[in-house]
Amino acid sequence: MSNAVRSKITIKQVAAASGVAPSTVSNALTGKGYVAPETRSRVVEAAASLGYRASSLARSLRLQQTWSVGLLLADVSNPFFPAVVRGVEDVLWGKEYNLVLCNTDYRKDKEAAYLRHLLDKRLDGLILASTASDSDDVLRLQAERVPFVMLNRRHVSAKTYYVGMDNEGGVGMAMEHLLALGHRRIGFIKGRADSSAAEERYQGYLKALRQARIPFDEALVAYGDYTIESGHAAAVGLMGRPRLPTAIVSANDFMAFGAMALFKERGLRVPEEMSVIGFDDIFVSALPWIELTTVRPQSWQLGASAAELLLDLIAGRETGRARETILPNELILRATTARARANG
């Protein structure tokens, strides 16, 4: 009879074949409790010969744990996220946890639907890398005592476990570099209005201006949504100002690409006539026909640190006050920045 139609092998059949109790089979196959080495070998051999596979559902019901974690991303197509996901998965896989990945497209309704689904599935914990700063879902998770970690997203009022990059300091490094090159009219393309990371990067821009004693000019700030198209539209707005900036800092690389495309359309040379700095250092930024100067976060480590913290929460090892982990960035100098023009 083929494996496809053969009756499912039970733990009792493995026990009978190896001459031990079902509980001994369970301990031998899961590594729990003491089982003599020769007995363990006999059980493993019997299980293999019979084609026995333990039921993950039964194990979950018995131990009240699913060994699964949910990860909600804002935009799975953004090249920033793969390294983050890999960091999460590498840590979880090493601890024999499964990862359930959900893409929300920055939509609150989609995020709420996924969260309901994941909670219904009784996942052991969640990592949120898509949540809006005012999301009520965060408050619900806290009320239900669901273990979760926010990844580079903060809530406007709730204190949560958080792992993120130094968004403010990253933009500060970019501004410091441009100021050292003599730029004083520096434009900024801000990210999504509901993103705490975007707001922190904007605050880094404002702080750098204050420290350099440069008056804030609202005309030098444009708004995007992290897409290439929005960066292009933001650059159109900046190019329409009576006095052009000599440099631009973008809240992510995608919007920097859009701005650079607009400058090329208008015949404005980068970096001779316009310096550009991005944020994220996605893999295409280093391509020889782009060579974007940008801020590089520790993307893999962000994911890994979030997963490690979540596993501590699930295991009850992290029981104190909600804490934050902030990882530093690195400014990567390439070919899109130069000294300011004499009249800049």
Q: How confident is the model at residue 75 (pLDDT cuts 50, 70, 90)?
A: very high
CATH 3.40.50.2300 residue ranges of the chain are: 68-165+299-328, 167-297
For 266, what's the count of Cα atoms within 13 Å in the CB-facing half-sphere? 19
pLDDT of residue 267 exceeding 70, the answer is yes
pLDDT at 29 over 80: no
- How confident is the model at residue 5, as a pLDDT? 37
Res 148: pLDDT? 94
Q: How would residue 62 be classed by pLDDT, with cut points 50, 70 and 90?
A: very low
Structure tokens at 230: 């929005």
Looking at residue 222, its pLDDT comes to 98
Whether pTM exceeds 0.85:
no
Helices 11-18, 22-30: axis angle to 10 degrees equals 100
Residue 196 has pLDDT above 50, yes or no: yes
Determine the average pLDDT of the residues in 268-272. 97
| pLDDT, tens only, 96-146 | 999 999 999 989 899 999 999 998 888 999 999 987 767 888 888 888 899
pLDDT digits (tens, 9 = 90+) for 235-245: 999 999 999 99
Q: Does domain 167-297 have CATH number 3.40.640.10?
A: no
Reference 255, options 276, 275, 232; nearest CA is 232
Residue located via tokens 């607009």: 262
Protein fold of 11-63: 434 Repressor (Amino-terminal Domain) (1.10.260)
Homologous superfamily of the 68-165+299-328 domain (CATH): Response regulator (3.40.50.2300)
Rounded to whole angstroms, the Cα distance separating 186 from 98 reads 45
CA separation for the pair 12, 20 (Å, rounded)? 9
249-259 average pLDDT score: 98
Can you say how many angstroms the Cα of residue 62 is from the centroid of all Cα atoms in its chain?
32
Residues in the chain, overall count: 344
Give the count of alpha carbons within 13 A of 60, CB side only.
13
Q: What pLDDT shows up at residue 344?
A: 53
pLDDT (average), residues 21-45: 81
Would you state the pLDDT for residue 319? 64
Which of 50-59, 186-195, 331-340 has the least mean pLDDT?
50-59
* Average pLDDT of the residues of the chain: 90
Q: Is the pLDDT of residue 272 over 80?
A: yes
